[in-house]
Amino acid sequence: MDLSIVIPAYNEVDKVAGDIALAGAFLVNDGLSGEVIVVDDGSDDGTGAEAEKAERVEGVDVKVVRYEKNRGKGYAVKQGMAVTSGEFVMFADCGGCVPYEDAMRGLRILRSDEADIAHASRRTKCSEIYQKQSPFRQMCSWAFRHLMVHWMGIGHEYTDTQCGFKLYKGDVGRELYAECVTEGFLFDVEVILRAQRAGYRIKEFPIEWTCDLDSRLHPVRNSVELFREMMIIRRRHIAEGKAKKGD
């Protein structure tokens, strides 16, 4: 199997069927064998049921992973990655913010062995932004990236750690997410730090992007949760780094 696509979903009843259709059409149109894995992160609006009855694209296997309690986006992606079987794996946010066709740019990077991980970035020179974030969210994003580079130790060359469109060589992705313990929105940060420590190569690629105004992340409402996760990840990263040096 060429590609496994993981779609984490929390209260996305109005979007999930469209996401399944878009992902399946992409696989078929580009001649890829693959599967679509929707992870219902404890939704209470019928997202899981909608995913299970959604129309399938012929030749594409669709799996729906469900659990009752909402655990967080990081937990959902981890559960999805655990049941993938593709040579390459990816996760994509609900809502179709990035056309699935853009994943071919990442696949070309991985197939040519230019990198082990391919990240979509809204901040690369060739990216096209059709619907921008609000000025407030742009300011929050700038501050967040500053923290990631100068406080968390993320490489300054990574311009968009939180873009929900990332691809991995299959074994690399499954390894990193099996180790990931961050259940909330900042799982991307932990995975990148683990990848850096393991020596995996990460390369960014440009995308077309349209902001989803119906985002599940709110910089103010989720600020305490985000700061708590950041502190936990930083302490864990420092401790694991010291342990590795001591081996």
Neighbouring residues of 228: CB distance < 8 A, sequence distance ≥ 6: none
Question: What is the predicted pLDDT for the residue at 218?
Answer: 62
Please state, in angstroms and rounded to a whole number, the distance separating the CA atoms of residues 242 and 47.
42
Residue with tokens 């100068």: 150
Identify the structural domains of the chain with CATH numbers, from first to last: 3-246 (3.90.550.10)
88-92 and 165-169 strand pairing: antiparallel
Is the Cβ–Cβ distance between 16 and 50 less than 8 Å? yes
Structure tokens at 50: 């909608």
pLDDT of residue 206: 97
How far CA 100 is from CA of 72, 113, 193, 201, 206, in Å, comes to 23, 21, 26, 23, 13
N- to C-terminal Cα separation, the chain: 37
pLDDT-flagged residues of the chain (< 70): 133-134, 136-137, 139-140, 142, 150, 213-223, 242-247
pLDDT for position 105: 98
Which residues does 232 contact at the CB level (< 8 Å), separation at least 6? 182
